[in-house]
Amino acid sequence: MIDLLRLSRSKGFSSADKHLYRAIAKATELAEGQSLLDVPCGRGAVAEFLARNYKAEVIGVDPDAEAIVHAEQQAREAELSSRLHFQNAPADDLPYQDEVFDVVIGELGLASSVDPFRAVAELARVTRPLGSVVLIGLIWTGHVDDDQRRILIQHLGAPPLMLVEWKQALREADVVALQVEDWSDQAFPFLVRGRTFTQLAELFTLVDKLSILQRAWRRWGWRGLKGAVSREYEIRQLLGPERTIGVTLIKGTKWNGGEDDPLSGDVATSET
């Protein structure tokens, strides 16, 4: 499902997405001239939105070379190349020195191909002391057996974690003062309500839908597409009425390494 968004030729950026990233910008006090890293950035829609609206110096990183080529082209067409850049690299081995970014965002696909703990550690490593680390994480919100868990992970393309696991990953990376918000009902509703291959028309235009299917066929073949469609009913039940997976926003602060830690306490969980 996450890869479907990467295969989209359009920006695929809804009003709910804008609401989420405006909330992130406000929470991190993102301002003109600050440096921001977005991982994995896909085709660059989020990075472009933040660079355009907040005048930040934005870099997007993604392991998909084709996505990066598209993102760079979009940046040139938007005349944002002076402060919007992209790099092809894995999420768990970022090509940057320590402590160089003011704000770092880990997107939904962060755990799609790497150990999420290693990826979170990399995000924290490149964040400046007292800078902001933000995760948009898939979390388990209901009980599922092993078979159901396997089906959902295959469908989403990234393994959800328990909320406590995402928080543990951040704390082990010296990210403190964690603030947690539930975005399950507002951001990325297709992940929570089970909109998959057979409902692409609800997410994209007809032209974009046909483009996605063509490129998905090249990547996975007809057998892969058919298998995904055949799982539609079970997945809709698990993601819809049973609500087994949610989307959570976690924002924390990179500790500066001092002996006293005035930021150690977590902020109570809130809902948008």
Q: What angle do CA 245, 248, 251 make, to 5 degrees?
A: 160
Measured between alpha carbons, how far is residue 36 from residues 99, 105, 223 in Å?
12, 8, 40
Average pLDDT over residues 153-168: 85
Q: DSSP characters for the chain?
A: -HHHHHH-SS----HHHHHHHHHHHHHHT--TT-EEEEES-TTSHHHHHHHHHH--EEEEEES-HHHHHHHHHHHHHTT-TTTEEEEE--TTS-SS-SS-EEEEEE-GGGGSSS-HHHHHHHHHHTEEEEEEEEEEEEEE-S---HHHHHHHHHHHSS--B-HHHHHHHHHHTTEEEEEEEE-TTTS-HHHHHT--GGGGGGTS-HHHHHHHHHHHHHHHHHHHHHHHHHTHHHHHHHHTTT--EEEEEEEEEE----SS-TT-SPPPPEE-
CA–CA gap between residue 62 and residue 112 (Å, rounded): 11
CA–CA gap between residue 229 and residue 265 (Å, rounded): 45
What confidence tens digit (pLDDT) does each residue in 229-255 have? 555 545 555 555 556 778 899 999 999
Q: Which residue has the higher pLDDT, 159 or 85?
A: 85
Q: Which residue has the higher pLDDT, 266 or 88?
A: 88
Predicted TM-score (pTM) of the model is: 0.78
The dihedral formed by the CA atoms of 88, 91, 96 and 101, expressed in degrees to the nearest 10:
110
Looking at residue 38, its pLDDT comes to 96
Low-confidence winner among 128-132, 195-199, 223-227 (lowest mean pLDDT)? 195-199
The domains found in the chain, sorted by start residue, are 2-145+156-188+244-255 (3.40.50.150)
Looking at residue 212, its pLDDT comes to 60
Low-confidence winner among 16-25, 58-67, 193-202 (lowest mean pLDDT)? 193-202
Measured between alpha carbons, how far is residue 193 from residues 90, 142, 246 in Å?
29, 14, 10
The confidence band for 36, taking pLDDT boundaries of 50, 70 and 90, is very high
Average pLDDT over residues 206-220: 65
Average pLDDT over residues 188-215: 49
Cβ(178)–Cβ(254) under 8 Å? no
